[in-house]
Amino acid sequence: MKKRFVLWSLLGFGIYALLLGLYLFQWSEFGVPEAYKGTAADPETFMTPRELELTEEYSRYRYFLSFLGQPLEWLLYLGIMLMGASVVFKRFSEGVSRFSAIQIPIYVLLLSTISWFIMFPLDYIKRKLSLHYGISTQSFSSWMRDEIISFWIGFAIMALLITVLYKLMKWSQKRWWLYAWLLMIPFFVFMMYLQPVVIDPLYNDFTTLQDKQLEDKILTLADQADIPADRVYEVNMSEKTNSMNAYVNGIGSNLRIVLWDTTLNRLQEDEVLFIMAHEIGHYVMNHLYWNLIGAIVAAFFGLFFAYHLMNFVVSKWGRKWNFHKVSDIAGLPVLFLILSLLSFAASPIELAVSRQAEKAADEYAIQMTQDKEAAVGSFQELTVNGLSEVNPPALVKYLRYGHPTMMERIYMLEQYDHKKK
């Protein structure tokens, strides 16, 4: 059984990688449709031939590595079950303590550690690719520091959630998914409140914006949108990346307007103001809260389907895999596998909704600033700076893009008519 799993996994993953490579490197065209030729969305109008070549190369390799990760994660969880590693983790944790409040975090730590080590080579290759094409500037020690921080933050959150979840499973075999969902609602809100002031500063240094004139202009935009902010934060990202970004996150008193220093260094002031108007648009249209509602709704259906699928797996393969009830912690990899598959199935819908929200924020920003030149220029610079493919293959767009393509965004801004709107 174990040998067959290894052989079929290697064969299946190899065929998948081959087909993926053919799709990205042979069957997909990265060109610009005729209707967009010569417009501001045509990269030939604002990129050099060498930049165009690097963009296509980098995009193909980046997409290839990105699509490899998902099935590798599924095989990882399935392999842990079939190889008996999950039962070993469970017995070890039971040998450490007789209390489930200690056993479960130990099990989660073992599972998280083995998962991290197996996925590490792929993450390292992604880093090397980013370095090779000049996107990342981060040293290995700094990158490892961020990896370790992410690991322990992820473990702490996951250990808490899984401990509570399995307590609920033992307490109520039929309603645990509903009670877990109800507890997830305040947890999501708490994490939104906590993220800007506790978690984000663990990775980067945040300071108030040094350019006070620019800060006043951004706060004026924020005031027009009724955003309760009295300062703009600047984060030092140039030590890690050449990419640019800006965002508004947090809720209540922890709301923050944040600019990466790379954005400040590479864009003109009017272009920065357009980018900030875009982020302000998300706040004005309540996208932060709609994201929260979306996460709550997704959690409801995810837990509901996970409840039924876990019962099915236990009855079908539980004895073979040495876990005999849903509340047995040895079945956690199965739960992770189910949730990952459900998340993947829902991702096209979630990404489509996200693309619409981003388009609405672009429209809000151009209405607010009424500076078409700055709007187009900012996205052109983002394209060049990040080696972003303006017209990715359809599969990439619908399974990976939470924003409209750069071609769609730039063309919309160039054609935007303020008077009609």
Catalytic residue numbers? 279, 362
Does the annotation flag 278 for ligand binding?
Answer: yes
Buried b / exposed e along 154-164 (16+ C-beta atoms within 10 A): ebeebbeebbb
Does the annotation flag 358 for ligand binding?
Answer: yes
Q: Are 390 and 41 in contact (CB under 8 A)?
A: yes
Residues 6+ apart with CB under 8 A from 181: 296, 299, 300, 303, 304
Q: Are 335 and 352 in contact (CB under 8 A)?
A: no
d(CA 35, CA 31): 12
Q: Are 263 and 245 in contact (CB under 8 A)?
A: yes
* Segments in 133-260 forming alpha helices (H): 140-171, 176-194, 212-224
SS3 393: coil
SS3 116: helix
Which contacts of 306-309 are long-range, i.e. CB under 8 A and separated by 24 or more positions?
A: 306/177, 306/335, 306/338, 306/339, 306/342, 307/176, 307/177, 309/338
SS3 12: helix
d(CA 279, CA 299): 26
Using alpha carbons, select from 420, 418, 289, 290 the residue that is nearest to residue 365.
Answer: 418
Does the annotation flag 282 for ligand binding?
Answer: yes
Per-residue DSSP letter, 285: T
SS3 246: strand
* Binding site feature residues: 278, 282, 358
* Binding site feature residues for Zn(2+): 278, 282, 358
